[in-house]
Amino acid sequence: MGFADQRFNVNLSILFTELPLLERPAAAAAAGFTAVELWWPWVDAPTPEQSELDALKKAIEDAGVQLTGLNFYAGQLPGPDRGALSIPGEESEKFRANIDIAADFAQSLGCTALNALYGNRVDGVDPAVQDELALENLTLAARAAHRVGAILLIEALNKPESPLCPIVSAPKAIEIVDKVNAATGLGNAKFLMDLYHLSMNGEDLPSVIEQYAAKTGHVQIADNPGRGAPGTGSLPLEDLLDQLAKTGYEGYVGLEYKPGDKPSAEAFEWLPAAARAAR
């Protein structure tokens, strides 16, 4: 097996960012990819104008690529205020206002995976209060995802880069997945296994794959150290993805890495051109 046997998509919120948003889908297509994913593109606007949604939809359709993953509103990404759904007040209200808009946009493009990022811990707020709010909002998000035929993804970030995020291990993310599924009875909450974040947490990646592949709805990769392309660090990503495939995982592997000091179009030398089109 190997990289050529995986199904890859490109995260257009971390790659091709040297281009305007509406030019990125075509750039990914020109690099040979047929599938893309996005963080919520409007960091200050959980409820953008319909014209902006329509323009992005047209850019994706015109490029001939499939949108396979989309984040709900999560504040400034990348940045220190990642996540929104567990932050009382304005941020969680923005998240709720975004739920149906994001779900409907995903449905309009046949996207079947929606990622909901937890929020940071907030000074002066009881963590139990935040967790209760989070479960309420994740329940709403899971129901909206179910309405449009999508899964809800729960992701673990990493403690060095996100020290205020409480979801910084695979077991903790799985705990949240289980709580959401118990609350809704829908079973559509899944683990987003980001191998870069988990490696930054010092987790045993083969063990994580062995234990949690069955509950995994999406995988993302970047090498470590540096969050660059495979081969720029020391993670055995090809071996890890082979192990994942042997568990029966057939979903997409999101390329969520930094291109370094070169144009994004030149950051895919590690992946044969023939392997870039999702099969």
The catalytically annotated residue of 91, 256, 266, 269 is 256
Measure the CA–CA gap between 80 and 9, rounded to whole angstroms.
Answer: 26
The 3-state DSSP class for residue 27 equals helix
Annotated catalytic residue 61: no
Q: How far apart are CA 51 and CA 54, in angstroms?
A: 5
In the residue annotation, 155 being an active-site residue is answered as yes
At 82, list the tokens.
């990642």
Which residue out of 155, 161, 203, 250 is catalytically annotated? 155
93 vs 21: CA distance, rounded Å: 26
CA distance 147 to 144: 5
Q: Which ranges of 164-261 would DSSP assign to H, the alpha helix?
A: 170-184, 195-200, 205-212, 237-246
Estimate the share of the chain in helix, then strand, then coil, as percent rounded to the nearest 5.
Answer: 40, 15, 45
Kindly list the catalytic residues.
155, 256
